[in-house]
Structure 1
Amino acid sequence: MRYSVMAPTETGRAADPEWIAAFARHAETCGFESIVAVEHAVVMSQYSSEYPYDSSGRMELADDCPIPDPLNLLAYLAGCTETLGLATGVLILPNHHPVPLAKRLATLDRLSGGRLRVCAGVGWMREEIEACGTDFATRGRRTDEAIDVLRALWAESGPEGATHDGEFFGFSGAMSYPKPVRPSGVPIHIGGHSKAAARRAGRRGDGFQPLGLHGDALQALVTEMRRAAEDAGRDPHAIELTLGHAVMKIDPARAAKLESAGASRIVLAGSGATALQQQCDELSACAERLGLTGPRPGPAASGAATAGDAR
């Protein structure tokens, strides 16, 4: 089991360079696999969209909470750490044009030594997605095609370059370098709570991260993902399953229960404490409960395979 920690954006300190660097270095020292950065390009002071992960319909972050760009944040943390994995959760893919995004992701992965993992989703805030210039109704199709574009540009296509002719994006003879460290590209996991997200993970994902679900609802979505993978001729068991829990509550028994549900990684959310020392103490106590043993080799160093290697 691998354990990852969320960058504590709710503290308002994720854009404080000394604070977040110290947090990330401590997570690495404790033996956590990776740190996860959230994304919101903008948050509207008033929105009618319903946040799907809280009964209030409003997300827990304040509208004016500093939410740094996740890729810039992870690039900064890559320079502050040595082995800590770098992950998004969730990168709102329809907010990005996949051609420049392919270059940004490959560059970050290459410069960090292959430490990047992308968890992508379609987004829930209509107002944000429209502010980024995308039709909210097409965000699912755009996300599917964007994943195809990323993989086309990351693949070694030879001197003729990459070609793509789709509904939203098109190019011919495109040369995009550097390439990611792994020949299969940066691992792309799919985050979400819907059947569409589960099917997307099964058809295109290296991993699946169901959000806000547990019990029968969770198992139904995992089953949907695996069925979609089989229909696409892929091995459903090669798709990593990542589940969530809390730093303050996770223990070996709870971890074993998530493992029995199929999880190979658990992303842990903190308490929201604004004091750095308290956050670090919580990580230390969590690591001790789970029996973590300090820094682990990064993906490139360990030669670990991803689901994409099975494609």
Structure 2
Amino acid sequence: MRIGIVSPVVTKVPGVHSTWERSAGIEELGRIAEVADSLGFHHLTCSEHVAVPTDIAEQRGGTYWDPLATFGYLAARTTRIRLATRVLVVGYHHPLEIAKRYGTLDQVSGGRLTLGLGIGSLREEFELLGAQFDGRGARADDAIAALRAALSQPEPEYHGEHYDFSGFLVDPHAVQPRVPLWIGGRTPRSLRRALSYGDGWVPFGIPTDRLAEMVTAANPPAGFEIVLPAGSTLDPIGSPEAGERVLRRARDAGATLVGTGITATSTDHYCEQLAALRQLAEKIDGPWECCDE
């Protein structure tokens, strides 16, 4: 079981983000990324929202850093840790737009891109961007299939119900032969979509017991990632026993990866918590050798 970090600073959700994050910026995030990289954590995350209605922002938050710009910077400050969109809303983009922009990021980072993809649920944002909200599930299936055909290909070709292209050059493109696609969601359909089109599933808002049942029933193939949330921010220094219970529960539910936030009071404290979290994880599953092992 490997551990990824739900990046601080880049999102500010009411009741979730810490006070120190309000004044933190890219330098603080870069330092945290360097420490997470050196300690062997699997990935950092960044979510996508273009514009959140002010009334909805009271619950969801209104601060969402752009993943492409954020990861471009972090790629230059790290060497091993993967850069995972969690999630990119496929309906906001043409598949070739994603293939080009994030394929360039894969080049820049030396092949460390993981594309976490979501269907999206904020109608107001869809309408603002001129994207179709109704029928977005079927369009997303086609978009993900098109993206799979396009990534890593200089001359991609795809012929589907909603997307059809050939005869175009996309350069630069991803350097990984197969960029990992993780599909987000909270329904059995999202898991089926992940098994059909992706390399992993990133569920949210599902009780752990139910997650375990869904994973067992799906019987995912070897190598398929089950990226489960810790369910709460961890405090490895202050409450190591609670953190160990959370990690063991996620592992027992079928997690191959756990994505977790960390409680901290400052950038320094956050980095200290990262070191303690690695020690906690090694206590459960043995020594880490590399972030990709």
Pick the TM interval, shorter chain. 0.7 to 0.9
2:132 equivalent among 135, 144, 156:
135
State the Cα distance separating 1:175 from its structure 2 match: 2.4
State the Cα distance separating 1:283 from its structure 2 match: 1.8
Aligned residue number for residue 112 of structure 2: 115
2:28 equivalent among 11, 19, 35:
19
Instruction: Name which structure has the greater RCO, CA cutoff 8 Å, separation 6+.
Output: 1
Aligned 8 A contact 1:13 1:274 in 2: no
Sort the Cα spacing of 1:14 and 1:43 in 2 relative to 1 into closer, same or farther, 3 A. Answer: farther
Aligned residue number for residue 58 of structure 1: 59
Measure the CA separation in 2 of the matches of 1:223 and 1:43.
Answer: 36
Residue 247 (str. 1) matches residue 248 (str. 2) = no
Give the CA RMSD over aligned residues: 2.6
Aligned residue number for residue 296 of structure 1: 290
Sort the Cα spacing of 1:220 and 1:295 in 2 relative to 1 into closer, same or farther, 3 A. Answer: closer
User: What stretches of structure 1 of length at least 5 have no aligned partner?
Assistant: 52-56, 227-234, 305-311
Measure the CA separation in 1 of the matches of 2:213 and 2:149.
Answer: 31
State the Cα distance separating 1:144 from its structure 2 match: 1.1
Partner SS for 1:141: helix
TM-score, normalising length: structure 2 = 0.83
State the Cα distance separating 1:294 from its structure 2 match: 7.7
2:174 equivalent among 168, 180, 197:
180
Q: For 1:1-311, list aligned pairs within 5 A.
A: 1-8=1-8, 9-10=11-12, 11=17, 12=21, 16-47=25-56, 58-59=59-60, 61=61, 63=62, 65=63, 67-154=64-151, 156=153, 161-184=155-178, 186-223=179-216, 225-226=218-219, 236-245=221-230, 246-248=233-235, 251-271=243-263, 273=264, 275-291=266-282, 296=290
The structure 1 segments of at least 4 consecutive aligned residues displaced by more than 6 Å after TM superposition are 292-295
- Which amino acid in 1 is paired with 2:7? A
How many residue pairs match? The answer is: 274
- Residue-by-residue CA offset, 1:247-280 (whole Å, 9 max, x unaligned): 3266445423322322111111122x46212222
- Residue-by-residue CA offset, 1:74-97 (whole Å, 9 max, x unaligned): 111000111111111111111112
TM-score, normalising length: structure 1 = 0.79
Aligned 8 A contact 2:150 2:158 in 1: no
Partner SS for 2:51: coil
Sort the Cα spacing of 1:86 and 1:276 in 2 relative to 1 into closer, same or farther, 3 A. Answer: same
Aligned 8 A contact 1:118 1:188 in 2: yes
Measure the CA separation in 2 of the matches of 1:281 and 1:162.
Answer: 45
User: What stretches of structure 2 of length at least 5 have no aligned partner?
Assistant: none
